[in-house]
């Protein structure tokens, strides 16, 4: 769990108590789950897509901010990258609503091209600033794929052909499944690691993670998946109990790696959180880091078992 700071008696920052951090984190989590539940209640693809788009673009903005590039040329590059990101989400939504997933690869390819080629183009009027110029361009392109393209797999899940329930598409329930499994992984790792964690997992990347917490993460991931499957069996007809167990293990592992991947990013850039929009959690990228790996894997798994 990330800990916030507040001024101490001598003016030095001190860590908040675990209780205060837990309350802040719980409040943010409940608010976000309320949004997901509302979208699920109305079973409206528009609401799901708006939520995915806002979180995705905000996380990409945080990624670009974390890089720490300053100056007019880098501001221009950042603005171009965000413009492509917003355009990409609008194009995705239009394509999904009108054509489904058919031919979507062309939309994705054009967006990646505009992100990379456009980044070079907008930097042409400015004086080259040594390695910082090419680093900024490559960072923007990598961030677009890492955040925007991978996170859009949540939208793929919404629009993946599913059996309808009561005349309504069931895509939102598959989105709920991957969200629950991913977040149960995080919760299981934290609770188990706090209670019995002793052996450090990868201390040079994330000192707080333990092998005991990793085991708890996998167990909680499986339990979370089984709980959603038990609650909504008619809406998750593609899956079977055997699939759910396998997915719990695979997605749990992917969630841990996704979290560690962002830890590598933040440790390399010497930042604590990607942002501060979510009390107790950090930024939008801190919230979705694991989903960047679990959503694509879940999508590919569903495609495989659908034939």
The reported pLDDT for the residue numbered 168 is 59
Q: Using CA atoms, how far apart are residues 92 and 105, in angstroms rounded to an integer? A: 10
Domain ranges of the chain: 17-306
What is the distance between the alpha carbons of residues 270 and 257, in angstroms, rounded to a whole number? Answer: 19
In a 13 Å sphere around the CA of 283, the CA atoms on its Cβ side amount to 20
Largest CA distance in the chain: 64
Entry pTM: 0.87
Q: How far is CA 176 from CA 10, 67, 79, 236, in A?
A: 47, 32, 32, 10
Question: Residue 154 phi/psi, 5° resolution?
Answer: -65, -40
Per-residue confidence in pLDDT tens, the chain, 307 aa: 343 444 444 444 455 555 555 566 556 666 776 777 777 767 677 788 888 889 999 999 999 999 888 889 999 999 999 999 999 999 998 998 888 778 888 999 999 999 999 999 999 999 998 999 999 999 999 999 999 999 999 988 888 876 665 555 678 889 889 999 998 998 888 888 888 888 899 888 888 888 999 999 999 999 999 999 999 998 898 999 999 999 999 999 999 999 999 999 999 988 887 877 766 667 889 889 999 999 999 999 999 998 7
Q: Are 221 and 184 in contact (CB under 8 A)?
A: yes
275 contacts 2 by C-beta, under 8 angstroms: no
Beta bridge partners of 7: 13
């Amino acid at each position: 769990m990330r800990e916030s700071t507040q001024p101490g008696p001598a003016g030095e920052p001190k860590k908040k108590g675990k209780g205060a951090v837990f309350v802040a984190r719980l409040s943010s989590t409940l608010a976000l789950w309320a949004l997901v539940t509302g979208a699920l209640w109305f079973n409206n693809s528009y609401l799901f897509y708006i939520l995915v788009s806002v979180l995705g673009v905000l996380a990409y903005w945080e990624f670009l901010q974390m890089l720490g590039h300053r100056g007019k040329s880098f501001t221009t590059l950042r603005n171009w990258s965000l413009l492509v990101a917003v355009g990409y989400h609008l194009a995705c939504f239009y394509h999904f609503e009108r054509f489904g997933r058919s031919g979507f690869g062309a939309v994705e390819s054009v967006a990646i091209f505009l992100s990379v080629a456009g980044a070079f183009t907008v930097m042409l009027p400015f004086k080259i600033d040594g390695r910082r110029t090419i680093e900024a361009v490559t960072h923007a392109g990598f961030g677009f794929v890492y955040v925007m393209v991978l996170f859009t797999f949540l939208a793929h899940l919404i629009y993946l052909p599913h059996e309808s329930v009561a005349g309504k598409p069931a895509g939102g329930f598959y989105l709920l499944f991957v969200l629950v499994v991913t977040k149960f992984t995080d919760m299981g790792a934290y609770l188990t690691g706090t209670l019995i964690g002793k052996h450090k997992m990868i201390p040079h990347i994330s000192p707080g993670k333990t092998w005991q917490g990793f085991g708890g993460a996998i167990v909680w991931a499986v339990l979370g998946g089984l709980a959603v499957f038990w609650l909504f069996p008619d809406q998750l007809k593609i899956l079977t109990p055997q699939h759910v167990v396998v997915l719990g293990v695979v997605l749990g592992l992917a969630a841990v790696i996704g979290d560690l991947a962002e830890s590598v990013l933040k440790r390399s850039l010497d930042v604590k959180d990607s942002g501060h929009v979510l009390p107790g959690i950090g930024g939008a990228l801190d919230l979705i880091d694991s989903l960047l790996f679990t959503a694509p894997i879940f999508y590919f798994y569903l495609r495989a078992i659908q034939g």
